[in-house]
Amino acid sequence: MKTLLARFSKLFSKTEQMKSKTKEYIRTHKTRITHVISQIVVYVFLITIAYVFLYPIFKMISLSFMTSSDLVNPEVVWLPKIFSLSNYEVAWRVLKGEVSLVNSVKYSFLLAFFQTVVSAITGFAFARYEFRGKKLLYTILLLSFIIPVPILLITQYNMFTSFYQSVGWTGTGKGLNTYQSQLIMAFFGQGVNSAILIMIFVNFFKLIPNDLYEAGKIDGANPLQLFWHITIKLSLSTIVVVFLFSFVWNWNETYVTNMLVGDGVELFINQLGKFDSLFGTRAADPARPDQSSGMQLVESYKMAATVISVIPLLLIYFIGQKSFVQGIEKTGITGE
């Protein structure tokens, strides 16, 4: 009994000692501990938010591999029991993949090209020259960003209709239902979010030191040479940024495309928008028509189609992600 008591008291004193030691430690290292705790809290929060950001994408990818039996099976949450690519085959057929892919890339590329060139020229004028009405024009340019698209689009649509009719440019492959109207608008600097693209260029071109231009002028360079040999050659990275943004925005654009192009051109985005109605006619495998009666519209097909339409964008993003973020930083719309 005594030994037990002695042991107990020993243990007690030890714990007391430990307690005081930890207290001492906490007292001396207070800032460090609070720092570590706050860091952990910050990380947990950031990771949770990142998970919420990515959740729809993960869910979409997971669903796109599921068969209809996996969808109704409550045990299957993330990983499908049978891994199959059949959803992608059907989705590719419904989207008319081979046509849509070429069209989407081609038109996004063309529109982005025009937009980038015109934005660069306009940005150069705003950044380099002092001319009458510059401030007014620049303000109008920025304000034009907040004008909602529908109020312009109604008249733009009428304009293009009457223009094509008066010129006689109608029929298949001409006028409306083709990409020509949007290409014209992009050529005149009125594409998707053109104001932002011009702003990116203006703010970057302003950073180029004036001495370079002075030197160029003394050597007898004309404005076009100044533009090409100094401005463009020095700002290749910005040009890439603007081009990528323009490409992505044109790829994702639906409203204007719906009005001016309509069903005329197959694109990933507009095919995806009409997925439900297209499914009935295109889903069946042409090689095995007898299967078609069993085909049902299941969300997995839709998810697979969404994944397909997003993959090119994801590829672009992961190759050029740094320049995307820098591009937004470069716009300089953060207060200066």
Partner 1 sequence: MAKNKTLEQLTKTKTIENQNKIAYLFILPWFIGFILFVIYPFFQTIYNTAFQITSEVNTLVYDYNLNKAGGNFGMAFRNVYFFPQLIDFIVMEATYVPTIIIVAFILAILLNTGVKGQSVFRVIYFLPVIIMSGPVTGILRWNGAGSLLDYNRNVIFKMIMSYSPGLAEALSGLFANFTMVLWFTGIPVILFLNALQKINVNLYEAAKIDGANGWQILWKIKVPIVKPTAFITAVFTIVQLGTYALNPVYYTIQNSIYTEAAGIGLASTFAFIYSLVVFLLVGIAYFLLGRPEKIKHVTLSSIQRLNMENIAKRRLKQKNKEVA
| Tokens linked to 150 | 């529908």
User: Of 178 and 271, which CB lies nearer to partner 1 in the complex structure?
Assistant: 271
CB of residue 271 to partner 1, shortest distance in Å: 9
User: Of 25 and 145, which CB lies nearer to partner 1 in the complex structure?
Assistant: 145
User: Of 6 and 333, which CB lies nearer to partner 1 in the complex structure?
Assistant: 333
CB of residue 287 to partner 1, shortest distance in Å: 28
3-state SS record for the chain:
CHHHHHHHHHHHHHHHHHHHHHHHHHHHCHHHHHHHHHHHHHHHHHHHHHHHHHHHHHHHHHHHCCCHHHHHCCCCCCCCCCCCCHHHHHHHHHHCHHHHHHHHHHHHHHHHHHHHHHHHHHHHHHHHCCCCCHHHHHHHHHHHHHCCHHHHHHHHHHHHHHHHHHHCCCCCCCCCCCCHHHHHHHHCCCCCCHHHHHHHHHHHHCCCCHHHHHHHHHCCCCHHHHHHHHHHHHCHHHHHHHHHHHHHHHHHCCHHHHHHCCCCCCCHHHHHHCHHHHHHHHCCCCCCHHHHHHCCCCHHHHHHHHHHHHHHHHHHHHHHHHHHHHHHHHCCCCCC
CB of residue 110 to partner 1, shortest distance in Å: 16
User: Of 144 and 291, which CB lies nearer to partner 1 in the complex structure?
Assistant: 144
User: Of 11 and 54, which CB lies nearer to partner 1 in the complex structure?
Assistant: 54
CB of residue 40 to partner 1, shortest distance in Å: 11
User: Of 105 and 285, which CB lies nearer to partner 1 in the complex structure?
Assistant: 105
CB of residue 101 to partner 1, shortest distance in Å: 16
CB of residue 10 to partner 1, shortest distance in Å: 44
User: Of 153 and 285, which CB lies nearer to partner 1 in the complex structure?
Assistant: 153
Q: In this structure, are residues 93 and 85 in contact, taking their beta carbons and an 8 Å threshold? A: no
Q: In this structure, are residues 236 and 60 in contact, taking their beta carbons and an 8 Å threshold? A: no
CB of residue 237 to partner 1, shortest distance in Å: 17
User: Of 83 and 188, which CB lies nearer to partner 1 in the complex structure?
Assistant: 188
CB of residue 238 to partner 1, shortest distance in Å: 16
